[in-house]
Each structure stands twice: as structure tokens, then as C-alpha cells.
Amino acid sequence: MSMRKTTEYTLLFCITILALGACSSQPNKPEKKPNIIYILADDLGYAELGSFGQELIETPNLDALAASGMRFTQHYSGAPVCAPSRCVLLTGQHSGHAYIRGNDEWAERGEVWNFAKAVEDPNLEGQRPIPDSIPTIGNVLQSAGYKTAVVGKWGLGAPLTDGIPNNRGFDFFYGYNCQRQAHTLYPKHLWKNKEKVWLDNELVVPNTKLDSAANPYDLASYAKYFQKDYAPKLMQDEVLGFIDQNKDNPFFVYYATPLTHAPLQVPQQYVDKYVKKFGDEEPYLGNRGYFPNRYPRAAYAAMVTYLDDQVGEIVQKLKDIGQYDNTLIIFTSDNGPTYNGGTDSPFFDSAKPFKSEYGWGKGFTHEGGVRVPMIASWKDKIEPGSSSPLISAFWDVLPTLAEVAGTKAPENIDGISFLPELLGQEDQKQHEFLYWEFPSYEGQQAVRMGDWKGLRNKIFKGNMDIELYNLKSDLREQNNVAAQNPEVVKRIAELMKQEHASALIDRFKMEELGDVKASVN
């Protein structure tokens, strides 16, 4: 070999060694923490998705999400109605410890149920706020370096109070502050952070009936209930924008969509699809609240499919910006299916295999009122097409997301992280029991303990008897076996006493459980 070649090889070797040394001396770029998107449907029943047994409503995007991830078949909401369920979700405390335990419109402020006045006066909007002493999921994830957003329906702190989302752990908020204002999907206004945003809609107060001379079989008679700015579309735009703007940061989106809560309002092309599928039907004239609708069953199915399309758009956005692989997506519902506003839960068998009729779904701690569908998808982390029977609940979400984010959850919570279950690990901790109380709909308590379900109903009428059901053989809670299992009933009674802490708000106190209201000497 010539001297010249030898020199060239020596120089090349030296350059290579120097380059390798330089690379090894540079610190490794830290991996971006996983993004989290938590989508909370409103009043969606356990069996209203194809992947959970629905046969009439089409949900291809959510079914694809389930095929890419894990279905939880024994997941429970925080409560059987909106606000307390969301409080439990955000704080990790079950309803025996949570600050908000029922829907509370804070009526001592004035005419809060005067819809038109509340549109103009923010002092009449919204619900009682969560105190700042109680950390939320937003606070926990903010402290872990996440950009946080809530889009949709808040219901946990009125405008002009310290309880607005921007003061409770969320960098960005867009949507309804007030759950009463969400009783129309074409509202006069929404909120963007702390600013009121007026929309291009005329005010049509909920419960406005058809004009007296209108033909209820003529679609044109319903025109006033469908206007220009559709709130779910505006909210979807904000979600997609937030994801896009924060693609370089770890982000958390709590998407509390108002769908599929009544009223039955959705773009007509979605309704037309189901009119073709279901055929003609009798109109809903508004006798059970909200707004009349020409094709109520078709409209309800259309709302579910509209939401399904939005989930598909979110997944596609994540793929377009290269964040799909690094995003945990969870989809669920805040409680069981409703019974008003023209919805027809029995027609869709919305809570299947549980009962869907009034008294068994929304508003009640029966399985149909609190067991909800949950799907979790996370590429290369969660086994595609898997199913979990883990008994879990909303109060488990906070510790789960904290663990996903690599941070600690607050200490005074009731939840257990289900991240090991998501990842297919064998060290998943399990609850001995789940507990609910609900100081409304005549007063209720419930305990799930293994296959046993214990219920107290009509507490405010003096009934303290515990009904007992074996869910392994009686999912529909039809055969009360309390008399045959006194020891199980005794243990459930002990848990009902143990897990109930007197509420801080008089409205939620249950005197039959020993609570003393401030107004009582």
C-alpha cells in the first residue's frame, strides 16, 4: 500500500473516531411525554356503540378505535348525572367524598332557570365551583409539563368565579360554562377562556314548542330549532386547533362534548341517512322537554354518528401531525342513557344488557345508569382488539393519567391507576369495592363488591333497606337476594357507612345518613 493511501485511511479513521466521540458526548434528547386525549360523551348508553353491541346506530370510527385498543366492559361513571360525575372524574374522589355530589344550579343567586336572562347575565350562568383547595386532573398534568385544554361542557364553576376552567388547571377553555345553557346546541354564546363569544344564532329558549298553526309532519315547521353556528362543530374546530398548535409539547385534551345529550339537534344530512334507514316515524312535539323534532329516533342516531365522525377526525389529525403513535386516547360517557327530550333509549336498547327504561338509566345507580362504555387506544402500548373485565371507575382516571405523565397523584383520592391493565402487565391492583351516593332522585347509595351489587333507593322517603343482586347471574338486577345473603348485606351496609362523609354543601347532605344541615340547630 502506498504512503499516500495509508495517510488517507489514517485520516479517515481519526475523523470517524472524533465524530463518534462528539456524538457520544452530546446528551440524549429526552423523549416527549405521551399526549392524552380524554373524550367524554354526554348521556351515551353502554350499548350505543357497535363495539359494545349496538345494532341500529353506525359508529365505524369508534369501532375502529376499539379494534386498535382495549374495551373496558366493567367501567363505571362517577355518578348517574352530569356535574357530580365530572367532579368525580376531575378530582379522583368518589361521590361519598367529592365536593359536588349532584346537579346544583346555585339557585340562591336569582333566576338561574330563566334561560334568556342567564344568556345576558353571567352572574346567573353556571354551577357551584370546585374549591381551589381540591386539585384537578388539569392541575396534576400542568405540573408535569403538559399544555391542558377542556373543550365542551364544564358545569363545575360559574363565570366570574374562581371555578372557571382556566383557574382549575386548564390553559385553554372553549365551550359551555353552564350545563343549562347546553340545553340548546345552537346557543347565543359560548366561552373562550374568560371571554364571552357571541354566535350567529337567534335565541330560542329550550322548551319552545312548535307554532300553533304549524304542521308537525312538515320538516319546515322545525326550521327555527336549526340555525347557523352549531356548537359541536365549533368545539371540534377548537380541539383540532389545540392539537395542531401543541404538537411539539405534551398535551392533554379533556373533550367534554355535549353530544349526545338532548336536545335532538344535528345537521340534517346526518338525520336523512337514518330516516332512510328507519323509515318514517311520529314526530316528537316537545312534551318531555327541550325542542320538538320531526324525526326523533333518526336524530338521536344521527347525533351519535356525528360524534363518531368527530372522533375519526381527531385520529386523522394525530396521524397527519405525526402524534398518533404517542397519544393515549380514551373514550367514555358521563352516565347512562337518558329518558327525555324525545330520545328513545328502549328503542335502541341503549343500556343492553341492562335495562334502559326510566328508573334504570340516567339518574339511577342501577347498572344502566352508571356502567358506561370505555375504549382506550395507544399504538404499540395497548394490545389491539383486547378487552378488559377490570372493575374500574371515574375516580381511577386521575391516578392513571398521572402515572402516564410520570408524576404523582394527590394523596387524598379514592382511585387506583389502571395503567398496568392498559399495558398488559400483571401487577394491576384491584378495588375491593366501588361506592356511589346520589342525593337526588329520592336519595340513593350503591356498592359494587365483586359480583355483588347493593342498592339503597328512596332514602329520602325513609327507606334504608338494602337490595342485593348477584351480577354474575342477574345483570339486569331483577332478583333481590338480600334475604338469602345477610352477611353480604351486612358488609355492604358497613361500606355505605364507612365511605359516606358528610357533604360540605347543604344541598348534598343526607340527613337520613346522619348529616346535619347548617340551617338546623
> Can you give 255-298 as a three-state secondary structure string?
EECCCCCCCCCCCHHHHHHHHHHHCCCCCECCCCCCCCECCHHH
Dump pLDDT digits (tens) for 46-63. Answer: 999 999 999 999 999 999
The predicted model gives 440-461 an average pLDDT of 98
Measure the CA–CA gap between 285 and 293, rounded to whole angstroms: 7
Q: What is the pLDDT of residue 29?
A: 57
pLDDT band at 31 (very low <50, low <70, confident <90, very high): confident
Mean pLDDT of the chain: 94
Q: What is the pLDDT of residue 61?
A: 98
The predicted model gives 277-303 an average pLDDT of 98
Measure the CA–CA gap between 93 and 111, rounded to whole angstroms: 31
What is the pTM (predicted TM-score) of this model?
0.94
pLDDT band at 207 (very low <50, low <70, confident <90, very high): very high
The predicted model gives 260-271 an average pLDDT of 98
Long-range contact pairs involving 352-357 (C-beta distance under 8 Å, separation at least 24): 352/46, 352/47, 352/53, 353/47, 353/53, 353/475, 353/476, 354/46, 354/475, 354/476, 354/477, 355/476, 355/477, 356/45
- Whose cell is 350562568? That residue is 125
Measure the CA–CA gap between 384 and 376, rounded to whole angstroms: 10
Residue 454 phi, psi dihedral angles, 5° rounding:
-110, 140
Q: What is the pLDDT of residue 6?
A: 44
pLDDT above 70 for 250: yes
The predicted model gives 135-141 an average pLDDT of 98
pLDDT above 70 for 27: no
CA angle centred on 283, ends 277 and 287, rounded to 5°: 135
pLDDT band at 518 (very low <50, low <70, confident <90, very high): confident
Contact 409, 135 (CB under 8 A): no
pLDDT above 70 for 302: yes
Using alpha carbons, select from 375, 393, 404, 376 the residue that is nearest to residue 433: 393
Q: What is the pLDDT of residue 54?
A: 98
Q: Is 33 helix (H, G, I), strand (E, B) or coil?
A: coil
pLDDT above 90 for 290: yes
Residue 262 — left, alpha, or beta (φ > 0 → left; ψ -120 to 50 → alpha)? Answer: beta
pLDDT above 90 for 197: yes
User: Interhelix angle for 268-278 vs 296-320, to 10°?
Assistant: 120
Long-range contact pairs involving 266-269 (C-beta distance under 8 Å, separation at least 24): 266/185, 266/299, 266/302, 266/303, 266/306, 267/230, 267/302, 267/306, 268/226
Instruction: Please list the helix, strand and coil fractions of the chain in percent, rounded to the nearest 5, in that order.
Output: 35, 15, 50
Q: What is the pLDDT of residue 2?
A: 46
pLDDT above 60 for 395: yes
pLDDT above 70 for 1: no
Dump pLDDT digits (tens) for 163-186. Answer: 999 999 999 999 999 999 999 999
pLDDT band at 28 (very low <50, low <70, confident <90, very high): low
Work out whether strand 467-470 and strand 452-457 pair parallel, antiparallel, or are unpaired.
antiparallel
- Whose cell is 351486612? That residue is 490
Q: Where are the beta strands (DSSP E) in 164-272?
A: 172-176, 189-192, 195-198, 251-256
The predicted model gives 326-352 an average pLDDT of 98
The predicted model gives 314-326 an average pLDDT of 98
Measure the CA–CA gap between 326 and 83, rounded to whole angstroms: 31
pLDDT band at 465 (very low <50, low <70, confident <90, very high): very high
